[in-house]
Chains A and B, each alone.
Chain A
């Protein structure tokens, strides 16, 4: 549904995104994570046809975002980060206006449907300027859903919502994501973890990690990397551990420990423990190196991610 190859965008001399490559399939919710200024919004704006890239290509629903921008825009629902709205308009009129621009048939019914989906049907006759921040966010979401888009691009969709609304909106995104493609950016790592099938981590305009949430969960559970400490020499211990079938990337640590990896899905800690004890070592520690998504994020994005 979304295919990005070699996507690059320069603002003057500053390169906002650099040679991005990724794709998103139908029925997939993809999280776009990164610190401020990493290039998330720029990428999303290119995918929505708002701006062209400096280089590279992006296809959305099979259409080129530059050459067939209008076709792309027909098929994309977009919620910008700032949720721009006409504050002097009534909610219903605003959505009807956006619906008319998209040539939606029976636009009144569709507006009511979208308002119902975001739980704002009882505020349809109120002025947007009088709504709370969370309600405005939901009006923006209704606008993005109005034309039942094939691809939904959401920039920080739950920001400003209260916890109850966050749950509702996530549930809504989850249900939409079953049939359509959703690309959402978020600073909330637990949101990415709970909601997204796959996560793209972007930093300084480059994708630094791309994985399914299952694999990230695997790292969270610590089933991949383990550190071992024994009473004795680390080099000899490393040699001993290497003999266990399935173990890979065995490294000695400065503090005398040994770190090793094994393929996720099969926990080799019992075998390693038996091997180490069988070789006569006094086992002091066998600790999984669990990484939270936050840790992965910070490690991949450096100091900027700590903001």
Chain B
């Protein structure tokens, strides 16, 4: 457990050693800030004319997840690929660290960074709470944020798993992007085309369980699905590292 934390801490710090952390934060917080301002502006306008409903965090958090589809591969692409390319993987694999600890530590480092950004985004519901009378529904906010953590954790786990397979970080980026894009946007499409048997595809979509959580409905199926995908991603990463040893 200590090794996982040591690796996670180093990865978290490492994001801030280069421009990546700031680029990702800008790419997330700027559109979210603009979107949030627009929501406040239009909701205010509508309220002045006696129409519209109270604004909530759902659309803002939906935008966060949409952006993470494209940014999470950037956060994970170098995690293990770069270690393999630079040869530092040899150092880690000859240190008394289990392969699973290495992979989980890398994932946790990326998760800590995403949680840091999520922490910043908490300003939106806090601001919103001041504008809405009698305040926003915090249970919906909590449900939405748990959903955000689970979906981001899933995306990052997929990314870490892919990063363990490739030594080239660009290959890692595009393969991760492809998998996440497919699971988020495309896997649910057959559900509409096959009304009888297609419902199963809805369950496999990364988007659907989150949409429910974002609306304040936590489903056990959704939580189990995300936790299963996180485990699968980390297991794939650990297996890829073990295969590297045997090659």
Residues of A participating in the B interface, judged by any CB pair closer than 8 Å: 11, 45, 48-52, 70, 73-74, 76, 78, 80, 82, 84-89, 97-98, 100-103, 143
Contacts and interface: CB of A to CB of B under 8 A. Distances in A.
Given A84-B88, A88-B14, A100-B6, A78 B96 contact: no
B220 interface: no
Interface in B158-184: none
B247 A11 contact: yes
Contact of B6 (A11, A76, A97): A97
A307 B246 CA distance: 29
Nearest to B90: A80
Contact of A78 (B3, B14, B94, B245): B94
A84 B245 contact: no
Nearest to B87: A84
Contacts of A101: 3, 6-7, 92, 95-97
B88 A102 contact: no
Contacts of A103: 2, 96
B196 interface: no
Given A73-B94, A88-B18, A101-B3, 9 more contacts: A50-B245, A51-B247, A70-B96, A84-B87, A84-B89, A86-B88, A87-B86, A88-B14, A101-B6
Contacts of A73: 94-97
A80 B87 CA distance: 9
Nearest to B86: A84
A50 B97 contact: no
Interface string B92-124: 111111100000000000000000000000000
Given A73-B96, A74-B96, A80 B247 contact: no
9 contacts: A11-B247, A49-B93, A49-B94, A73-B95, A82-B90, A84-B91, A85-B88, A86-B86, A98-B95
A50 B93 contact: yes
B214 to A, nearest CB: 37
B49 to A, nearest CB: 55
Given A97-B10, A100-B6, A101-B3, A70 B90 contact: no
A51 B243 CA distance: 10
Contacts of B247: 11, 51
Nearest to A153: B94
A290 B184 CA distance: 74
A245 to B, nearest CB: 54
B78 to A, nearest CB: 11
B6 A51 contact: no
Please provide the 6 A-B residue pairs with the shortest distance between their CB atoms, ordered closest to farther. A84-B87, A84-B88, A48-B94, A73-B96, A74-B96, A100-B6
Contacts of A80: 87, 90-91, 94
Contacts of A51: 245-247
Contacts of A89: 17
B12 to A, nearest CB: 12
